[in-house]
Amino acid sequence: MKNEKDIIIVGYGAAGAAAALTAANLDASVVILEKQPEDAHYSSTRMSGGLVMGADDADAAARYLDECSGGMIPAEVSRAWAEKAIAVKDWMRSVGIESVHMAGGWYPKLDGFESIKVFGPLPKGTNPDEVEIELPRPGELTFKFPLPFGNGQLLHDLLVEAVDASDSIEVIYDCPVSELMTIDGVVRGVKAAGEYKGTTFAAKKGVILACGGFEQNQEMILNYLKAYPIYFYGSEANTGDGIRMAQAVGADLWHMNQMIGRAVGHFAHPDGRELTFNISLNPPGYAIVDKHGKRFANEHLQAVSKANFYYELLHYDADLLDYPRIPAYWIFDKRRVEARALSGGSFGNYAWSKDNRAEIDMGWIAEADTIEAAAAAAGVLDPAAAARAIEDYNQACKFGSDRFGRPADSLIPIDEPPFYCMPVYPGGATTNGGPRRDARARILDPFGKPIPGLFGAGELGGAIGMLYPSPGANLGEAFAFGALAAECALEI
């Protein structure tokens, strides 16, 4: 084999960067092999909100993470994450990233919730002691816009700067990896594809797979996730490569049916592209109805970005033999359109217009003088039922009490024309399933034995089960297991 390093890292997002920086700090030589070209390096980290989950109490955080996992993650794996989480703020500072406390966990009902602290990265030169943040209510993620700090582009830039500053880390872009190379059952390197086809890279200590999930692989989505279609706004490079490579050397898989979910917008652009967007219901009023025009859940969960609203969209009607909430329809009025953009766009792919007019003109958002007409134009099968649903909702606003349990301060009527209706689908940022790993980030075979020389980090088999623990949990997990993978590979 050629191009020998101590550590080979496949994928350059938060997990890959954390693994590389940790390994370099331990005097190891590192190469990161990134599938995308440098001028189009849009990792899920870069396309994320940039928040990072930490904690202030390892015992409490371990209990909370264990409850969120729904039994899908062994307690010792959650414990390993929790122990890294209490140090994540200091770890970020050690690589030049200052941060500020911006939110907490999602689920106040669960034991250990109070230990979760979510941090937002700060621009270079910003003193965190001088930053004032008005924290959202427990279990919510709502800020006054524009967001004061914290976004994926900023976090990406700071990580890239830290990696570039290390003489021990080499980054090779536009270098997809097609195969893991083994010698006597030990993973000793990788085989590249694309422009580097035929090139092999040897690892003295280990290979760390940090190359994302399968959110852009429709066959895997259809066969593994809980419904179909489901759309993602994460990296276009995440097509399940690492999962297949790990399987080829005997890896077991876990929680392949799990993802970080919410309602998303998905549209066909006039140029032929299909684009998926995170959407922002706030500020109210808002309501979401199913294909038949009926409200079905507490939309406030979606409005404050809780990932559990996604479960409400997955209902299957055994009589109709259909998913009546795929798509569902978001209904609102001119006040929401005039307040701000409905989406932050898709980084590197599409810039959403500030006044929403371009998207209305393309037909992504139906506009009409009545609720019924807007619902009909958007595709609701019973637009009259949608109009009645909004009448009922407006009555609930009048009395300050909603049958689905919406908070009173979210009950703002939808009564100022023109009215708007937009289809929404189950979707989100990333999948969570992939190669099973242990508390040291070692990838395991179906009998629970580590595959020598192979490690995993980030959303490729991330340690996230039934409930997404907090805003930024995926990035916090990526930092934790990226570091654990490097430490274990180097026998620290």
State whether 147 and 279 are in the same domain: no
Same-domain status, 130 and 264: no
Question: In whole angstroms, what is the distance from residue 4 CA to residue 223 CA?
Answer: 37
Domain contains 457? yes
Which amino acid is located at 297 in the chain? A
pLDDT at 143 over 70: no
Strands 200-209 and 4-10: parallel
- Could you tell me if 414 and 442 lie in one domain? no
Full domain range(s) for residue 172: 4-213+432-489
CATH of the domain at 170: 3.50.50.60
Q: What digits encode the pLDDT tens for the residues 389-444?
A: 999 999 999 999 999 999 999 999 999 999 999 999 999 999 999 999 999 999 99
Lookup result for tokens 């274990």? 488
Residue 240 within any structural domain of the chain:
no
pLDDT band at 487 (very low <50, low <70, confident <90, very high): very high
Q: With pLDDT > 90 as the criterion, what percentage of the chain qualifies?
A: 92
Query: Same domain for 439 and 336?
Result: no
Look at residue 287 and tell me if it is in a domain. yes
Overall domain count for the chain: 2
- The DSSP line for 111-155 is TTGGGEEEEEE--TT--GGG----PPPTT----PSSPSS--HHHH
Residue 299 is assigned to a structural domain of this protein: yes
**Residue 99 bridge partners (DSSP):** 121
Amino acid 16: pLDDT: 98
Q: Quote the CA–CA distance of 204 and 200 in Å, as a whole number.
A: 13
Residues 208 and 284 in one domain: no
Q: Within this chain, do residues 361 and 273 fall inside the same structural domain, yes or no? A: yes
Supply the mean pLDDT for the chain: 95
Question: At which of 413, 428, 443 does a domain end?
Answer: 428
What's the pLDDT at 1?
A: 43
For residues 299 and 399, state if they share a domain. yes
Kindly tell me the sign of the dihedral angle through the C-alpha atoms of 349, 355, 358, 362.
positive
Count how many Cα atoms sit within 13 Å of the Cα of residue 49 in the half-sphere of its side chain.
Answer: 29
Q: Could you count the other beta carbons within 10 Å of the beta carbon of residue 384?
A: 13
Confidence of residue 145 (pLDDT cuts 50, 70, 90): very low
Same domain, 54 and 168: yes
List 55's β-bridge partners, or say none: 116
Beta strands in 281-340 (DSSP E): 287-289, 328-333
Within a domain: 229: no
Give per-residue pLDDT as tens, 287-328.
999 999 999 999 999 999 888 899 999 999 999 999 999 999
Q: Are residues 39 and 123 in the same domain?
A: yes
Residue 304 belongs to domain with CATH number: 3.90.700.10
pLDDT one-digit tens code per residue, 338-350:
999 999 998 888 9
Residue 220 within a domain: no
Residues 168 and 293 occupy one common structural domain: no
Residue 245: phi, psi to the nearest 5?
-65, -40
Q: Which of 383, 409, 428 finishes a domain? A: 428
Residues 442 and 369 placed together within one structural domain of the fold: no
Give the pLDDT confidence of 149-195 residue by residue, as tens digits.
Answer: 568 999 999 999 999 999 999 999 999 999 999 999 999 999 999 99
Domain-ending residue, one of 385, 404, 428: 428
Residue 253, in any domain of the structure: no
pLDDT digits (tens, 9 = 90+) for 109-137: 999 999 999 999 999 999 999 988 888 88
pLDDT, tens digit (0-9, with 9 covering 90-100), for 442-480: 999 999 999 999 999 999 999 999 999 999 999 999 999
- Confidence label for 492 from pLDDT (cuts 50, 70 and 90): low
- Give the SS3 label for residue 253: strand
Q: Which tens digits make up the pLDDT trace of 20-41?
A: 999 999 999 999 999 999 999 9
Are 106 and 469 spatial neighbours (Cβ–Cβ below 8 Å)? yes
Residue 64: predicted pLDDT: 98
Q: What is the pTM of this model?
A: 0.95
- Residue 255 forms part of a structural domain: no
